[in-house]
Every structure is written in structure tokens, then in C-alpha cells.
Structure 1
Amino acid sequence: MYRILIVDDERHVLDWIYELLADLKEPELDVYKAGTVTEALAWLDRSRMDIVVSDISMPGMNGIELHGKIREKWPECKVIFLTGYTDFEFAYQAVKNEAVGYILKTEDDDVIVETVLKAVRQIEENARRERLMRQAEEKMNAAIPLLRNECLSGLLRGERTLPTVRRRQFRELAIDLNPEESVGLIVARMDERQLREPVNASPFAGIPALPAVVASVTEAFTERNASCVHLTIDGNLCWLVQSDSGFGGEGAVPSAFLMETLDQVQVFCRDHLGQSLSSVLTEGTVSWAELADKYELLRQGLVRHMIYGSGFILSESGIASLRQTGSPIGVRIDRNKWEALRTHLEKGQRERFEQGLEEIGRIIAEQDGSLRDSSGMEAFYNLSLLLLSASNRWEMRELAGDLGFMEKLTSPERHVNWQAAIGFFRETANAIFDLLDKKQENGEFDVIQYVREYMSKHLHEGISLVELAEAVYFNPSYLSRLFKEVTGLSITAYLADLRLERAVAMLQENRKIGDIAAAVGIESPAYFSRFFKKMTGRTPQEYREELIIGNRS
């Protein structure tokens, strides 16, 4: 559907062009009209117009000046000039301003229609495609830092990608790492407490600590002929590092090199920022396939070692020795699996959620997990909180009101073993997905029902698609698509049926044609007569006469 605005200070011309274009079956047009330039500018402020058909000579501002305003606000809008004068200067200015057409008011209807169709074809074939491609490119460039972070975060969370896909992603996102070579990994965190005020003479005084640390680490590795890419994940700072040369081959980065560099960064943080940075790192490099496991090991080591102090630099060997001296921890599930499960639930991905839940159940079974020890209870409550949060977020009172269900959801002791608990969680998730599907269907129906009632209540006002969209806070194009999906009719067709239904009822009451036209939102009685005949094959008067004859018989 294309939105078209007709601007002319002559009322009969305005109604003529409006009725001519509104009667077109193809393409589907959403037609608006303005009797003054002020009214036209108000429409253009309110909504985007695809095409404007404008008189050139009007009080206050001529059509050429209006065209300039249109180009400022909606550069892609196509303008057709309409005039009663065969003035060469106006025609020259129209062409110079890239107008689609210049039509005399004495031309036949077919000429006007063909000029509008020409504008539609231009929109379809050229302007819109170029504009969308340009906008997509601009948005892509602006989103590259975020997309780069998401891409690398996915690798750290265990998302599997083929080498060919990884090469393409690195190239498109300008990730300065070799996707074929192994990589060193650093996971760090700014310690909460500040050591002291930074040195007043420091050139870094007043600069936020986090960007300064990121820049200092990246610069330190770059100065040592290493490629370094930064990302943030789970509140941690991470760097992926590869060596451009030396250290036993491309990509190889010994831990001594990493620790030496981080030690210099620690000095920078202490002396210039008054902050300490705690870091854990791999010994040497790891393959991309092993990266997620290494990240989880380093992340856990960073968290656990916080109890021993701050400002430490720890290798993965140190983390492993800490784990060996600890007591068994029972059920242990990679946090990335919890995160993936939460994502699948929030996005309504039923099958993926079920697969993730089955995998967690398998891991628990392999570890001989118990519902009675602390780690088993932690896993149970992770699942319980996940489902309870979803139920509350989507206001599923059907579940919250079932006390027996809530007790099973929050009490590990109500389940004989993990197998039974996983089965219960599976049933609960399916119930949530079922209710979510129902809510989505009902939500769409409620919106369309409101739109129907709004059209019925405001029919006499001459309703537009823009007005309907504003009433439900939707984009006009989206509302148009949703209405047709739910009802099987376009808004234009539904509105026509609604007008016909009300007109027939008022004809049966023997109301005046002018009153009926106004009641169904059509200003011109003549246009209403043409509309009625188009819908029924009879004029309103012929229909009324048939009613009278039928009543007599």
C-alpha cells in the first residue's frame, strides 16, 4: 500500500483527484487530501507520504516551494505537479526539481492515473531499494562493534561454527585475528576497591578507568607485534591474542609473554588510575574448538581467586592446582548451558529448550547428581527460577494460582530423583509455551478487535490507516499486514464493507443521501453514489426504490 497526498486549494479539483485515485483497484493506495499548504505540511509532519500530487499555484506557498519542504522531510517522496497553466517556466522548474510529472488540469483521467502509476514504479524499482540498501549499510557499520562482541562472545560460550563461517565472520566484522590459528585468552576484572587516588600529574587523570585499561592492554600487545581483540562478556574484560611473528611460529603466544605484558598493565593501572586489575590467562594458545572450555575454566578461576586478594595475575595451572585442593562439588553444569536455556525460553523456542533441558538431565545423570546435596539443589533452583521468572514475566496466573504446582516447582524434596524432576520441568516448560502461544494469538485478536470497534465508532470521521495505527501505537504497514493476516481482508476492503453495511441500514430508514454519505465518512454525495454502485451494482436511489417495491408486495 502506498500513501498519497493530494494538495489543491480548489475544492472541486481536490475531490475529483481524490475520488479518481481512491477508486483504483491496483495498486492499493491510501489517499489523503489537503486544501491548503498548511494542512499538507501537517500531514507530512504526521506521516511519511510516498507520493504527493500538488497544485503549483496556491496561496501562501507555491507547489515548487512545497516540493522543497517535502524533499527536506521525505527525500524519497515522489511529487507530481498539477496546474491549470501551460507555463514553460513552471514546467522547467518542475523538471529541475526532479518531479515525477507535470500535468495540466485539462488532461484526461487516464493521464493522471498513468503518472501516478509511473511514480509507483519508480518507488518499487529504484528509490526504495537504494534507500533501504544504504540504510542497511549504515546500520551495519554502526553495529559492527556490537556484532563483533557478539560473535566472539558466542565462541566463548561454545557456539560451534565451521572454519569457513568463522573466516567469513572475521572478515566481515574486521576481527584482526587468524581464524585458522590458535589463540591466547585473557580474562580480567577491575577490582571493586580503588587502591588510591591516581598521580595528579598523570596524563590519564580524569579519564574513566575501564576504557583506559582496555586501551592500555591492547596497545601493550600491539607494540609487541601481537594481534589483540577485546570483548566484554559476563561483566568480564577479555582479550584474544595472537603473535604476528616469533614465539615459535605464527599465532603462538607463550604465557610468559602474556604475564609480562599484563604486569606492565598492572603498573599502569596502579600508578595512573589508582586501580588494580585481576587477570587469569591460558598457558600458551588454545584452538578455537577448545576456547569455550578454557573461558569457563578461567572465568571460574577469576571468581574463586577473588577471596585471596586483588591485583593478581594467574595462569590456568594455578587455577587447576586450586581445584585439586578443593572438595568435590557434585553436580557441575557449564553456565553457558544455563544461559542458552534461558535464551531459548525467552525467545519461545520450544524445541531448542527441550533439547537443552534433556542435555542438562543427561549431564546430571552422568555425574550421579543428587537432589539432596548443595550443588544438586543449586541446579534444581536454577531450573525452578528460570521457569518461575518466565511465568511471572508473562503473567501466567493459571500456573501461579496452582499451589500444588508451585510447591513442586520450588521444593526438591517433592521429587524422588533427578529423572522425575527433569520430567516435571519438561511438562512445566510445555505448559508455559502453550500459554504463551495462546496469549500471542489472543493479543493479536484483541488489537484487531479494537481496530474494528474504532472504525465502527469513528466511521463518520473519514478514517485513515495512519489514524488507526496511531490509535494502537503500531507502524501503519505492520498494522495493515496484521489486520489482513487475522481477518483475511485488507483494511481498505473491511472499511468499504463497513461503510456499505451502515449505508444499507440508513437507506432502509429512508435517510437522505447526503446524511448517509456523511455518516460513513464520505464528504461528497456524488462520490458516495459511485461507491455504492461499485459495491452493489445499483445506485442508492435504485436500491431505495427496490426496497419500497419489495415492502409493497
Structure 2
Amino acid sequence: MIMHKVMIVEDDRIIRRGLCQAIPWEQNGFYVAGEAGDGEVAIELIEKEQPQVVVSDINMPFMNGLEMAKLVKEKSPATKIIFLTGYEDFSYAQQAIKVRAYDYLLKPVDSEQLLQKVIEAATEWENDRVNEKRILDSMPLLQQNFLQNLTRQEAKRVDIEAELLALDIHLDGPFFSSLLIHFDSSNKEDNERFKDNATKRISDFLTSCEGAVLNAGENEIAVFLSLETNQSNKIEILAKDLLQLQDEGKQQLTITYGRVYDNVFELGHSYIDCRLAMDMRHIMGPGKIYRLDDISSNCKQSEENVKELDRKLENQIKLGLPEKVSETLAQLNVAIFESRKSTLLEMKTLAVKYSSMLFYEIEKWRKEEVKGFNSSKYYEDIMKLTSLNEMFEILQRLVQEWSSLMNKSKQNSRYTLVDQAIEYMKDTFHETGLTLQKVANHIHVSSPYLSNLFKVEKGFNFGDCLLELRMKKAMEILGDVNLKTYEVSEQVGYSNPQYFSICFKKYTGYTPAEYRKKH
């Protein structure tokens, strides 16, 4: 059985002893935690014992019951107070209501009536505790819902002042701003530990200014600040202080802060500033402190640059130029960063497209006996990526794998008759009269023998090889040089532009003009 504490405060010693001893407290779940003859002595005991119920006379020397009650609400706010008063002091009873006393009884008090009243007060104390726990347990969700409502543009205007009051947040201003902290960790215990550490760090900071910490999600904390000036100095100091927690734990932090506003109703705009900035963390990268103004710029030129580099990259991969691909990837990284437009989903889509093309090139050079390359692992990494830099690190690793396999294959392979033939074709494919017979004569074998060697060693015939050499060169020219179709045709060994166009469309799916427009 849970025992509740009751305290007796009465200046008449005989009445006080009677209240302590004549009522069967223990049989009813109570024990007397202390007794006092005046309010001053009682305050010290109440602060120490934190009783559920105090039974007190109103009219006492030194400090009367009403003065005591005001202090009790500060030092032990949950404690219920029952006043005892004589008929002549009935005016005190009316004042008892103002100090939020639980009830008052007229002297001489009936023991059973007092006991029943104390039981009722203790029951209300229990109910209050249950309700407070329910509110505390639901507070993180209430805070999260409040913050989500602030970011919903289609929703009706949130009454910031009323909502803050409901969340027991008091901000006097005159200036207001907000800060948002995101921490990347899949470990729930690490998250909770970081939240505790961050909340303590913020609470220490808030001794010098007014503010509140809110739960913004599983991996996020929001801070509302009341500032004396419209400068963001204090916000930056807090952000830098919090970023140091990154070195103390396993989390990677991203911290954004909003503009400073001179009206509490604009606090929602400051939080939206934070949220919009935070949504770009995959571009800005972790371990940073920044604001929306840092990433807002005229990005139209950069967007066009991204499209151009995208086309260039596709061509270079198809042409089998890993060194060029690596250079263009680096340029594309910068262009996407400057454009500030790509969402995380768009970045992952782009990474999947390029990685698929690179997988195809890698497979062409990879021998069956070569182990260690796992394309599914790369796809997993792409799905997990959270920043622009991670995306390009993955793609650059693939390019390095491709380049390494290509170089290794060339070094280890025998320089066969077919290899000699292909090397000769690479130097002469632009000649209109290049035939199988001419190539065979160059390496001193018969044309039927060379034709068979192509099929056995390479798995394709002479005509396919020549077509690929000419078409890749044509694609390169069309992508980089502004020449007419007949001029391109001549440069890759075709005397008939119409026949060249037919071959080009069969190989690429586009006419030369269509290809130039798209690339």
C-alpha cells in the first residue's frame, strides 16, 4: 500500500497533537511527515518533505496560513492545502480560494470529516500526477505536430501565441528566431544520448537568454529563441557550441538557423527558413552550420550547365573515356552544388543512371576470373546516400574500377592478329576504301581467316567493329564540333552522306541532326 505524506500546521499545541494522534492516519494510507506551530517552520519542512497534503490553521503568528500557502505553491506546487478556520475568521476562507487551497473547514473540525477531506485531496493529487505524466509523455508529439503545422502552407494560419502557451513556452522578445539541429545516426540509443546532451547544452545556454527546446522528429531538435536585438550573433554562438557535440559522439550534425523577426507571430517564418535550409543538407553536406540566405542565389546558369554536363558525361561513357568521365564528374559535382536545385531523390536517380552505364562498361572489361566487384553493393550505397559528395564518391570509385580493369586487360592480353587489325583500323577507319581485304593484307593473312579470327576471339565480325569505330567518332564530333552532316560523314569514312545517316540512326536510334539537338 502506497503511503501518502500529510503535514499538520497549527499554532495551538494541544489541537496540533490531537490532529496528529487522534486521527487513524496509517490505517487510511497516510503518515504524518511533520508538524509545525507556524508558517515559517512549516515552509522548511514542506520544501524538504514535499507532502501530498498539508492541514493548516489560517490564523497563526509570524506567518499566517495564507502567506505560507503562497510560498508552498512555489516550493511544492503539487501539494494540496486544507485550511482550518474559526467562524470569526471566515473572511480568511474567502482569501484561501485565491491562493488555490484545496478546501477549508470550520473549527472545531470533525475528525472523520477532516480525514475524508484529506483522502479526497490525496486522490486529486494522484489524478494530477497521472495527468501531468500523460501531458509530459505526449509533449514530444504535441511539439512535433505544432512544428509540422508551421510548415504546412495550405493550412490555416497557426495562432503561434496560443500554441506556445499550450506548450508552456513563454517568449517575451522583442525579437525572435529559431534553430534546427539534425543528427544522422541509425542507432536509437545514440540518438537519445545526443538529444539529452544537446538539450543540456541548450538549457545551459538559455540561462543567458529566453528560449525553448522542442522535439522536431526522431533525428531533430528545434530551438526557439527570444532575443534582445535583431542580430543573429547569439544564434551563431549556440550553433557553434552545439556543433562541438559532433566530435564528442558518433553523430554527423547539420545545423540551420532562421532569420530574426520582430513579432512572435513571425516565428513560424523563421522555423520555415530553418526547414527549407535543412532540406538542402544533401547538397550542403553534414557537419555544417548555414542559413537559407547562404544557399539562395540566381542558379539559372548553373542549371543549364548541369544539363550540358549530363549530356557530355553520357557521351564520354559511351565512347569509353574513363579519364574524361572522371573530369566531367568533378565539374558536374560543382554545377549541381551551385544550382541548389536537385532533391535527394533526383540525385539518387542520377546516380543509378550513371552507375548502370558504368556497370555495363566494367562488365565489358571484366574477366570471369576477376573477383571483388559487386554491383549490388554499389546500388545499396546509392540508396543510402545522404549527400552530394557521397554520390560523386561512389561514381568516381566506379570510374576508377573501370579504368583499372581497362588498363589491366590491355597490359595482360596477348597482342593477337585481331588486336593488330583493330589497331590498324583505329588509325584508318576514316578512309573511304577501308575493307576487310585491305586490313588482312596489312597484317599478312587472308581475308576469310581474319574474318573467322574476329568471330572466335572477339565475338563480333569485322563490319561490326568498323561500324562501332566510325559511329563513336561521329558521336564525338556531333557532340563537340558544329559540322554539317556530309562533313562528319567524310571524316568517318563515308562518301555517301545518306548512307552514313542510315547507319548512324541504326546504331544510335537518332538521325545525326536529332543526336546533335539532344546532345
TM-score where L is the length of structure 2: 0.30
TM-score where L is the length of structure 1: 0.29
Q: Whose Rg is larger?
A: 2
